Amino acid sequence: MIAEVRAGELAREYGELFELDAKLDRLIRKIELLTHLNPRNIEKEKNSFFASKYSQEPDFKYPRPKFDPFLLQRQFFALPLERISDERIRKLYQETIYYYANIVQCIETIGTGKNFYFNSLRVYGTPTEKDVRNARYILHFADVPTGPDQERRYTALEARSYFEEFVKAYDFPLNIKFSTSIAAVAMVSNIQRSLLIKKNAKFSKDQLLTLANHEIGVHLVTTYNGLQQPLKIFSNGLPKNVETQEGLAVFSEYMGGALSLKRLKELAYRVLASDSLIKGYSFTDTFDLIHGQYKLDRDEAFTICMRAHRGGGFTKDRLYLSGLRKIYKRYQRGESMEVLLCGKVALENEGMIEYLMSLGLVRPLVHKSHSFDQNLNTDKAMGFILDNLK
């Protein structure tokens, strides 16, 4: 009863804000960058690339957007921001509109080479020299011998059963869909509120634990927490939330005992692939670096290069390692992660979230990431490596 009364008071006090927030939500629901950026012909181009002895640049094909990018951009900028009387909140929504307008530009220019590349840089930035040094530091450690838990012998159907069992610890539904057109073996679609699994993929036991902690333990937790907030902006995502959200997700792998040196090296290779991209190197050049020089398995190297070069150049993957470093440093300082789980938010939003909490516009968490309750990592090397990231 008290909650209903408070909700009514907020609706009366912030009616204009809620109306604009709902309009923005309807526009954002039309776009999800990764669904447009996953090539439709990955396997075909991989086979052709291997057949050419790594000399033929892949020609990836992408689904066409089902909306008019120009019209959508115009609708974003037509939103009546001047009706938000609170200056801090108005600035937050202004930044959010610019953020999603940039994503629309990314979608509009997928597959156009440099046009897409420069649009994506505005959203995801470039790896710093510190990022590259951290990546090389991780890669200098010798590989650990693989065991039976690293053998990829579980099918997509078996993966679904594993995730369905894992989610029982959480109080939210798990909608699983199979896909043949995603770059990753599994990913959360925030708009569909679903866990997508690559239909023909094979999974190892360790990989399943990693994905469960990453996708369910953080990405779905923040999706459903965001949906509980009065403002829909929290479920859609605040500007530049990717680094924090991916950092939390990989940190969840660490706390859940799933983060391995192999996985850390994967994140390091992604940084080097992004660095290769911004230096102007081609797909074949980047593949030569990852597979030829670092000797990574060719299938894994192809996936890392594809993720970086798709669309015309995509640097999102460089944020996983920097995000992990920032979240791990926060953990070392003994700071709570709860405020970062209230939705799709960034570390930089912490002060704003606390301000909105003081106004009653952010509610306490409904769902928590269980991996954060106890550190189950038993690999001392992981702690040593993370301690020494700069």
What confidence tens digit (pLDDT) does each residue in 360-380 have?
A: 999 999 999 999 999 999 998
Whether residue 1 is predicted with pLDDT greater than 80 in this model: the reply is no
- Determine the Cα–Cα distance for residues 259 and 269; give it in Å rounded to an integer: 16
pLDDT digits (tens, 9 = 90+) for 309-341: 999 999 999 999 999 999 999 999 999 999 999
- Determine the Cα–Cα distance for residues 138 and 141; give it in Å rounded to an integer: 6
Whether residue 153 is predicted with pLDDT greater than 70 in this model: the reply is yes
34 pLDDT band, cuts 50/70/90, is: confident
Q: What is the pLDDT of residue 3?
A: 52
Whether residue 71 is predicted with pLDDT greater than 80 in this model: the reply is yes
Q: What is the pLDDT of residue 290?
A: 98
Taking alpha carbons only, the member of 188, 242, 219, 231 closest to residue 23 is 231
C-alpha count within 13 angstroms, C-beta hemisphere, residue 282: 8
Segment 192-218 shows an average pLDDT of 94
Taking alpha carbons only, the member of 343, 338, 348, 349 closest to residue 372 is 338
- Determine the Cα–Cα distance for residues 39 and 310; give it in Å rounded to an integer: 7
- Determine the Cα–Cα distance for residues 360 and 339; give it in Å rounded to an integer: 14
Sign of CA dihedral 26, 117, 195, 96: negative
C-alpha count within 13 angstroms, C-beta hemisphere, residue 326: 20
Provide the edge-to-edge strand list for the sheet that holds 186-189. Answer: 175-179, 194-198, 186-189
- Determine the Cα–Cα distance for residues 137 and 132; give it in Å rounded to an integer: 9
103 pLDDT band, cuts 50/70/90, is: very high
Q: Following CA atoms 63, 69, 75, 79 in sequence, which dihedral angle do they give, to the nearest 10 degrees?
A: 80
> Residue type at 185?
V
